[in-house]
């Protein structure tokens, strides 16, 4: 009976022994059980799930680009142009002396790429406190310190998952609910959402808050 926004900032989850160990949580017993106080442990909501973070990562390293693009397009429903042709693929490891973030920033500084990367990279940088399989970390694979601070295109400064989560709920909540409504309606009807569905989506958004 709560708001669908709780998907973004829920303070609980369900874990068993192996998953609790992966998350760095202290658990009584190894069976599946509810764990409360998740935000105090540096997680909370679907963006703190290891499955979410791992799905949007590279083979052996995180990918702020993949994570940020997924957040922009799938979670918030933004329309981004496809990458220009001839864009080089990033190496699996950052060159010596560069953090993984610096590698991304250097790649994204190209003028023909910057417009989109300014919209997606900050989301991904905020999630750099989690490795490629969703474990919490303070250093990247080269041992260099992680920087999860980011400035969004609208000028809002965020830091880490907590800052990103707060921004999504308090500033972009309607965008999330609208996209959720589109996805839910399309699934329920078994077809693509059409312009004529706009009033229904608006009604769903209000009810889901």
Of 125, 147, 121, 137, give the one whose Cα is nearest residue 43. 137
Q: Which residues pair with 109 in a beta bridge?
A: none
Given a contact cutoff of 8 angstroms between Cβ atoms, the answer to whether 150 and 125 are in contact is yes
Neighbours of 121 (CB within 10 A): 22
- pTM: predicted TM-score of the whole model, two decimal places: 0.91
- Region 65-86: mean pLDDT is 92
Q: Residue 177's pLDDT band (boundaries 50, 70, 90)? A: very high
Of 64, 74, 75, 72, give the one whose Cα is nearest residue 148. 64
The domain in which residue 58 lies consists of 41-169
On whether both 98 and 193 belong to a single domain, the answer is no
Name the E strands within 138-196. 149-151, 157-159
On whether both 79 and 159 belong to a single domain, the answer is yes
Judged against a pLDDT cut of 80, whether residue 94 lies above it is answered with: no
Judged against a pLDDT cut of 90, whether residue 37 lies above it is answered with: yes
On whether both 203 and 164 belong to a single domain, the answer is no
Judged against a pLDDT cut of 90, whether residue 81 lies above it is answered with: no
On whether both 132 and 192 belong to a single domain, the answer is no
Judged against a pLDDT cut of 80, whether residue 92 lies above it is answered with: no
The pLDDT of residue 87 is 76
- Choice between 125 and 81, residue whose per-residue pLDDT is larger: 125
Q: Decide if 164 is inside a domain.
A: yes
Q: Decide if 124 is inside a domain.
A: yes
């Amino acid at each position: 009976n709560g708001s669908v926004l709780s998907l973004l900032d829920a303070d609980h989850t369900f874990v068993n022994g192996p998953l609790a160990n992966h998350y760095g949580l202290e658990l009584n017993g190894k069976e599946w059980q509810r764990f409360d106080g998740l935000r105090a442990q540096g997680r909370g909501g679907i963006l703190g799930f290891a499955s979410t973070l791992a799905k949007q990562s590279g083979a052996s390293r995180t990918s702020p680009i993949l994570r940020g693009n997924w957040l922009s397009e799938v979670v918030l429903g933004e329309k981004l142009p496809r990458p220009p042709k001839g864009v080089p693929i990033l190496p699996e490891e950052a060159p010596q002396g560069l953090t993984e973030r610096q590698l991304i920033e250097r790649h994204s500084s190209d003028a023909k790429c910057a417009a989109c990367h300014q919209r997606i990279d900050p989301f991904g940088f905020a999630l750099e406190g989690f490795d490629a399989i969703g474990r919490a970390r303070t250093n990247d694979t080269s041992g260099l310190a992680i920087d999860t601070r980011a400035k969004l295109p609208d000028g809002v400064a965020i830091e880490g998952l907590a800052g990103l989560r707060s921004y999504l709920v308090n500033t972009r909540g309607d965008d999330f609910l609208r996209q959720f409504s589109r996805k839910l309606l399309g699934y329920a009807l078994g077809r693509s959402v059409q312009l004529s569905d706009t009033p229904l989506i608006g009604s769903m958004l209000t009810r889901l808050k």
